[in-house]
Amino acid sequence: MAPIRRLVLDVLKPHSPSTVEFARQVSSASGVVGVNASLLETDREVQNIRLVVEGEAIDDEEVERRIESLGGTVHSIDEVVAGEEMVEPRDQPQDWLPP
């Protein structure tokens, strides 16, 4: 099976643990070499963060288990990169807007 190299997740999490601790815990999942956590929105009870998880062979199920064990919920999976190489997104002609 092709290895997962990047996951971009929209996550709802409680205020505690902090975003820093949340990212640290997710980064210890098998196959993960780095996590970028960005705060998208906050309210009284929860925060909405975007997690960009990168690695050589990410265990996506372990990542989700860690998120849930910290009180978070994966709201959506916004990007997955799988295979032997990282493929970066590129603009396509149909994405261009006329002037």
Q: What does the block give as tokens for 2?
A: 């092709």
- Both structure tokens of 43: 């309210």
Which residue, among 24, 77, 14, has the nearest Cα to 50 in the 3D structure? 77
Nearest to 7 by CA among 50, 52, 45: 52
Contact criterion met (CB below 8 Å) for 69 and 21: no
pLDDT in tens, the chain (99 residues): 899 999 999 999 999 999 999 999 999 999 999 999 999 999 999 999 999 999 999 999 999 999 999 999 999 999 999 998 877 777 666 667 666
Six token digits for residue 37: 């956590």
CATH classification for the domain delimited by 4-79, as one of 3.20.20.70, 1.20.1250.20, 3.40.47.10, 3.30.70.1340: 3.30.70.1340
Query: Are 70 and 13 within 8 A, CB to CB?
Result: yes
Domain ranges, ordered by start, for the chain:
4-79
